[in-house]
Structure 1
Amino acid sequence: MKQQYKEYLKLNKNILLGFLASIVVSAIVAQMFSSQQSYVNATITLGVDYLVYFSTFGTLFYFDNKKKYVLKTGEVDKASLRRDLIKVISSLGIGEVVYTICRWSLQYYLLTNSYQAYAASLISQSVSTVIYMVTVNLSVKFMRLYKDGP
């Protein structure tokens, strides 16, 4: 398998594991705050979602890529690291804007239509995650993060 495709698989694995961790914690938090107004519940749940997701994703991404930017001399290839970090952050940032809008508005909608808080959280996060994955993968491909050659 080409190295480029392995990198895509690692990125997607890290994203999915981050969302798996955050979906469980978010559903619990949503239910804990179910007595709050719908907009408060959606906002708190989204905040917890981000905290858990970025902690998990960041840790996994670091461990998968920590050796990628070390030169044979043992020094860090700062130029490549900086270039790739800008591309990753840009791709994730675009996805996060789309994700935030979808997740918050869908959860708010479901809560105002009498869904249980945990169910609204699970549904909104699942739908938003699919949209996020498509957006991030298209952004990464467009920015040529995992291109072959120089």
Structure 2
Amino acid sequence: MYKQYLKLNRNIFIAFAVDFIVSAIVAQMLIEQEHYINATVTLLADHGTFLSILGFLLYLDNRNKYRLNSGKTNWPLLKTDLVKIIASLGIAEIIYTIVRWGFQFYFLTVDYEPYLASITGQIIAVAIYLVVINFLVKITRWYKD
């Protein structure tokens, strides 16, 4: 079970590592835009990058989990796990979105460079996200024995 938590957190870190770079570049490219536009467009790029990479990594780690010996898909298990995944990630993403946008907007208004506002806001949001997602995974029993 703990191996699954470590894999999930590894995947989250990989996705966020790529996302840090993409978000910082997007934020800096929008230097001339209003702060709320910069924060919003950066957040959209953030979500697109993060969720694409995380989804791909989760697929790679779990692609055989839902296969029966006959080669067919175990649909009941897949459906149950999808509900847990969507519930856990959904709640964590809502919290992340609010925190991330708010901090980036704040840092932009106090004259941080856009890339630095993006990175700083994202570091704070990621720390909160990791606590929330691990708590929710435990509560939903996503990785039950």
- Give the alignment's TM-score, normalised by structure 2: 0.98
Distance (whole Å) between structure 2 residues aligned to residue 53 and residue 35 of structure 1: 25
Which segments of 5 or more consecutive residues in structure 2 lack a partner in the other structure? none
RMSD across aligned C-alpha pairs, in angstroms?
Answer: 0.6
Picking from 78, 84, 90, the partner of 1:87 is: 84
Alignment-derived partner of residue 53 in structure 1: 50
Distance (whole Å) between structure 1 residues aligned to residue 94 and residue 101 of structure 2: 11
Distance (whole Å) between structure 2 residues aligned to residue 136 and residue 113 of structure 1: 30
Distance (whole Å) between structure 1 residues aligned to residue 4 and residue 91 of structure 2: 19
Distance (whole Å) between structure 2 residues aligned to residue 21 and residue 90 of structure 1: 24
Alignment-derived partner of residue 117 in structure 2: 120
Alignment-derived partner of residue 131 in structure 2: 134
1:13-42: per-residue Cα shift (whole Å, max 9, x none)?
111111111110000000000110000000
What letter matches 1:6 in structure 2?
K
- 1:72 and 2:81 matched: no
Aligned length: 145
Moved over 6 A (4+): none
* Residue 12 of structure 1: how far off its partner (Å): 0.9
> Percent identity between the aligned chains?
48
Distance (whole Å) between structure 1 residues aligned to residue 135 and residue 91 of structure 2: 10
Alignment-derived partner of residue 144 in structure 2: 147
Distance (whole Å) between structure 2 residues aligned to residue 96 and residue 50 of structure 1: 9
Higher mean displacement: 45-54 or 4-13: 4-13
Alignment-derived partner of residue 12 in structure 2: 15
Which segments of 5 or more consecutive residues in structure 1 lack a partner in the other structure? none
* Residue 77 of structure 1: how far off its partner (Å): 0.4
Distance (whole Å) between structure 2 residues aligned to residue 117 and residue 26 of structure 1: 10
